[in-house]
Amino acid sequence: MSAQVFHQAMGTLQSNRLLNNSGTHHELGNIRVQLIPKSFKLNIELSRNRNFRFGKKNFGIIQATASQTSVIESASSPSNHDTSDSKKKSNEAALILVRHGESLWNEKNLFTGCVDVPLTKKGVEEAIEAGKRISNIPVDMIYTSALIRAQMTAMLAMTQHRRRKVPIIMHNESEQARTWSQIFSEDTMKQSIPVVTAWQLNERMYGELQGLNKQETADRYGKEQVHVWRRSYDIPPPNGESLEMCAQRAVAYFKDQIEPQLQSGKNVMIAAHGNSLRSIIMYLDKLTSQEVISLELSTGIPMLYIFKEGKFIRRGSPAGPAEAGVYAYTRRLAQYRQKLDEMLH
Ligand SMILES: O=C(O)[C@H](O)COP(=O)(O)O
């Protein structure tokens, strides 16, 4: 499907022209669109997954799986109607990046990659500490990878958030999964944060190193060679992904799915992995393939960016509630924190 046809479809949807003709098919290029009035679902045979579903009102961006599509809440309208968390037309948004807490294979110093291992007790504590550090920063949407260590980190961090919204994993893997996980209360939706899991944010695939001990690997192949595999930009481990290959999926997903949310004023948290986040930070900070070699991310330490007028400004790691630190990084974040203080006292 061409981008032009897709945008034409989006334009039609957003103009709502299409929504006045319930029950009929419309041809938009190679897209067949049908509005089913009862459940306000559009069956659109689209070939690309463009976004996620959360709520039924304010049709806007469309989402497609293999063949089914549901119209979703437009990215510009907040996932709740409480504009304290995200201004509809704000030109500023907060972006939080956090690498998962320590995993069981991090603890054993094994190459993990796309092997799906959980957090250690220490990793759980790191995730909770990360949550304390971001507890006053608005979060309207959460993106994680398809791997449990990132999802655990996101959910555990949000237990510390002062806004007390409930993060809810969006199940779009099938039409039934989407139907069976629907929320039918506007009020409940206002108090929820959609969590989108995306394999594109998975850790780089470490190929034949997955499961090997990092020290033994260095003993076998040499420290320098392992460092090149772990930190270079375009040299992959044996039968694995280079950082560049990881960036091709992670950064593409960020630009395609996450950046439009920030542009609409949504505050976003991404809980992912050392290398998938390194590739995204390389894009945000415009690092060269030489500079990215020295970029290391610790487990469970959140990084805050402010997205403003199309630019990403790195603001460092938010201080913990006990630490003396910046009260808020922008006027809007200060207002948000003040509102939380008022709401909670
Ligand atoms: O996949 C792994 O082993 C870790 O998450 C990241 O490993 P690295 O720091 O060696 O890239």
Nearest CA residue ID for atom 11, ligand 1: 230
Q: Does residue 81 sit within a domain?
A: no
Q: Is residue 44 located within the same domain as residue 112?
A: no
Q: Does residue 78 sit within a domain?
A: no
Q: Is residue 189 located within the same domain as residue 53?
A: no
pLDDT at 23 over 70: no
Q: Determine contact, residues 58/65, Cβ cutoff 8 Å.
A: no
- Cβ–ligand 1 distance for 275 under 6 Å, the answer yes
Domain boundary among 43, 73, 103: 73
Q: Is residue 62 located within the same domain as residue 150?
A: no
Q: What is the pLDDT of residues 117-176, one digit of tens each?
A: 999 999 999 999 999 999 999 999 999 999 999 999 999 999 999 999 999 999 989 999
Cα 284 to middle of ligand 1, angstroms? 21
Q: 197 — phi, psi (to 5°)? A: -100, 130
Q: Higher model confidence: residue 215 or residue 38?
A: 215
Q: Is residue 52 located within the same domain as residue 107?
A: no
Q: Does residue 135 sit within a domain?
A: yes
Nearest CA residue ID for atom 6, ligand 1: 274
Q: Determine contact, residues 314/305, Cβ cutoff 8 Å.
A: yes
Distance CA 238, CA 31 (A): 41
Instruction: Name the residues annotated as catalytic.
Output: 100, 203
Q: What percent of the chain has pLDDT over 70?
A: 72
pLDDT at 234 over 70: yes
Cα 111 to middle of ligand 1, angstroms? 6
Strand (E) or helix (H) holding 307: strand 302-308
Nearest CA residue ID for atom 2, ligand 1: 112
Q: Is residue 175 located within the same domain as residue 217?
A: yes
206 is in an annotated binding site: yes
Q: Is residue 114 located within the same domain as residue 59?
A: no
Angle at 265 between CA 146 and CA 268, to 5 degrees: 25
Q: 93 — phi, psi (to 5°)? A: -150, 155
CA-CA-CA-CA torsion for 110, 114, 115, 119, nearest 10 degrees? 80
Distance CA 44, CA 23 (A): 13
- Cβ–ligand 1 distance for 273 under 6 Å, the answer yes
Q: Which amino acid is at 286?
A: K
Q: Is residue 69 located within the same domain as residue 138?
A: no
Distance CA 130, CA 299 (A): 10
Q: What is the CATH number of the domain that holds 196?
A: 3.40.50.1240
230 is in an annotated binding site: yes
Global pTM value: 0.76
Domain that holds residue 311: 92-321+329-344
Q: What is the pLDDT of residues 132-144, one digit of tens each?
A: 999 999 999 999 9
Q: What is the pLDDT of residues 271-325, one digit of tens each?
A: 999 999 999 999 999 999 999 999 999 999 999 999 999 999 999 999 876 666 6
Q: What is the pLDDT of residues 196-210, one digit of tens each?
A: 999 999 999 999 999
Q: Determine contact, residues 153/102, Cβ cutoff 8 Å.
A: no
ipTM: 0.91
Q: Is residue 103 located within the same domain as residue 37?
A: no
Q: Is residue 203 located within the same domain as residue 260?
A: yes
Q: What is the pLDDT of residue 317?
A: 92
Instruction: Tell how many helices (H) and how many strands (E) occur in the chain.
Output: 12, 12
Cα 206 to middle of ligand 1, angstroms? 8
Q: What is the pLDDT of residue 322?
A: 66
Q: Is residue 259 located within the same domain as residue 338?
A: yes
Q: Which amino acid is at 181?
A: S
- Cβ–ligand 1 distance for 90 under 6 Å, the answer no
- DSSP structural state of residue 294: G
Q: Does residue 80 sit within a domain?
A: no
Q: 261-273 as b/e, with b when 16 or more CB fall inside 10 Å?
A: bbbbbbbbbbbbb
What number does the ligand 1 atom closest to the CA of 103 have?
Answer: 5
Number of domains the chain is built from: 2
Nearest CA residue ID for atom 10, ligand 1: 230
Q: Does residue 160 sit within a domain?
A: yes
Q: Does residue 122 sit within a domain?
A: yes
